[in-house]
Structure 1
Amino acid sequence: MKETISILGCGWLGLPLGAFLTGKGFGVKGSVTRPERFEELRTEGILPFRIVLDPEVSGDDVSGFLESDILIVDIPPVRRDDIESYHLEQFASLLRVVRASSVKRVLFISSTSVYPPLDRAVKEDDAADPVSPSGRALLAVEELLRSDGAIQTTVLRFCGLIGYDRDPSRFLSKMSSLANAAQPVNLVHRDDCIRIVHEVIRQRAWGEVFNACSPGHPSRGDYYAKAAARSGKPLPPLSGEAGAVPFKIVDSSRLERALGYRFRVPDPLDLPEAP
């Protein structure tokens, strides 16, 4: 019998992820903060719940939502002055109710913002001293979850999410120039994100930390030039020499080896058409 999965945060990634997992035969529960979205979840075969972390966990049926085998958490840090302490408080509150539930395995969607720009490829052990408050908040939450003895947590560090309505061409008309055009990009398509999550669950790869980033790293200039050619929009003037600002290249080879995973979109220059 397939396991039951709860997805905390059914947004741009969480909703299609839930739909994909229901198609694979899992029972899926999903959370949103507004009941007006319940029907959207039901249409995809997802049992909807209203769950809020502010920072304490509240909702109409928190215990019912957590009557599951696996919890997937996909809620980014909220932009606020106390982002680091607030995000940690959210997850401390969440952990208290998770410990009292049937959930024993957690998949936490993190970000490659936990890496500083080291002017080289970064791997999972390079997460230290993030430069952004959101990166520091995520790294603290990763450590909180992974140190908890009551659950097994796998962390997926996604880089910039692309695909479908997140097409780079929509930004072109807002740009007067394209800065840092020589910098490499770190991007991953939503289709790959969804399938990587499924592979972690299918292969029971718990207690792990994986980068998840397409292996192709074109320059920002090439990436937006391709978007301009595809959309017919003009490309703004480019600026920035190679190495002018710090950079990082996110290495996902550990994920590829451990899961035997091959990216569906290995090069961000080759975005597939929307279905």
Structure 2
Amino acid sequence: MNKTFYTQEKTISILGCGWLGLPLAKFLIKNAYSVKGSTPSAEKISSLAQDGITPYRIFFDPEINADFDADFFNSEILIVNFPPRRREDIEEFHPKQFKALIEQLHLSSVKKVIFISSTSVYANLNRIVTEEDDQKPEKNSGKALRVVEEMLLSQKKIQTSIIRFGGLIGYDRKPGRFFSKMKNAVEGDVPVNLIHQDDCINIISHLIENNLWGEIYNACCPEHPSRKEFYERAAKIGGFEPPQFASNQSSYKIISSAKLEKTHYKFKFSNPIDALI
């Protein structure tokens, strides 16, 4: 492990200090980084500051807010962590947001970007899928993510690495309640593609400390129990009414994280069921 990751103070900006970005910021601060963090909410500025984060109010609608402070982008590394919104025109809106972001990057000192993407960029191919699979996904949000990934990767002066996370679980996210009130929920036999918050944070720091730039990595628990197996266990552990799944399997995908594991990353939770305890 590169010891300088823990001893040299550097500055990292995190665009989006939400469910993942906030604990990531706290982790980096504990490991000798100075962190600038953004939020679209004026009410959250003070709470970010209390956590030792230099706070900025920044949002894209789709242009960047007129009163933003450009000092936020005065960092060597930028972590971009805001997902596509739920809106009908997301395929047009999300790329416009990133066009505005990229314009700011060209005016900044940012040299390296980590973009938090999603496995929704993959189509359901009824098999194991890898970073090489490029078939268009079904969901509009996945299509939008494909476009913005390409926009970032095409920037010559910025090294971008993309992490495609599976479904996020851990801490206040209690998956046991998701299907607890559904009777005969469909697709009980399909495999799940999930990842715990701790692994998300560890993977981001792993890329930084090992200088893994210019790459795309899938990031899901290497083991993929069925939806029925996982959510029945989650409901039992969480004290929720157990779901009732129909025994059928429609289209699915199994996300491979083999490329990431080849970089010597070791998952904290290889099986998402273990993350429920």
Q: Which moved more, 1:228-237 or 1:116-125?
A: 228-237
1:256 maps to which of 227, 250, 261 = 261
Shift of 1:65: 0.5
Kindly indicate whether the alpha-carbon contact (under 8 Å) linking 2:17 and 2:39 is maintained by their aligned counterparts in 1: yes
For the residues of structure 1 that align with 2:234 and 2:156, how far apart are their CA atoms?
46
1:270 maps to which of 267, 270, 274 = 274
For the residues of structure 1 that align with 2:119 and 2:12, how far apart are their CA atoms?
25
Matched residue count: 270
Kindly indicate whether the alpha-carbon contact (under 8 Å) linking 1:181 and 1:219 is maintained by their aligned counterparts in 2: yes
Q: Name structure 1 gaps, 5 residues minimum.
A: none
Kindly indicate whether the alpha-carbon contact (under 8 Å) linking 1:49 and 1:60 is maintained by their aligned counterparts in 2: no
Q: Name structure 2 gaps, 5 residues minimum.
A: 1-7
Tell me whether 1:38 sits opposite 2:53 in the alignment.
no
Kindly indicate whether the alpha-carbon contact (under 8 Å) linking 2:36 and 2:56 is maintained by their aligned counterparts in 1: yes
Shift of 1:240: 3.3
1:84-103 equivalence runs, <5 A: 84-103=91-110
Q: Give deviations 1:224-268, integer Å, cap 9, x for gaps.
A: 111122133332322032xx311000000100112x111101111
Q: Give deviations 1:23-58, integer Å, cap 9, x for gaps.
A: 111110000011211122122211100001011112
Other-structure match for 1:70: 77
For the residues of structure 2 that align with 1:255 and 1:44, how far apart are their CA atoms?
30
Q: Write the letter of the residue equivalent to 1:197.
A: I
The TM-score, its normalising length taken from structure 2, stands at 0.94
Other-structure match for 2:4: none
Cα separation, partners in 2 of 1:12 and 1:59, compared to 1, 3 Å = farther
Other-structure match for 2:214: 207
Kindly indicate whether the alpha-carbon contact (under 8 Å) linking 1:3 and 1:70 is maintained by their aligned counterparts in 2: no
Which secondary structure state, in structure 1, belongs to the residue aligned with residue 218 of structure 2?
Answer: strand
Shift of 1:146: 0.2
Shift of 1:61: 3.8
Shift of 1:79: 1.4
Other-structure match for 2:227: 220
The TM-score, its normalising length taken from structure 1, stands at 0.95
Q: Which moved more, 1:113-122 or 1:229-238?
A: 229-238
Instruction: Supply the RMSD in Å over aligned alpha carbons.
Output: 1.3
Shift of 1:272: 5.1
For the residues of structure 2 that align with 1:34 and 1:233, how far apart are their CA atoms?
33
Q: Which moved more, 1:194-203 or 1:61-70?
A: 61-70
For the residues of structure 1 that align with 2:22 and 2:98, how far apart are their CA atoms?
21
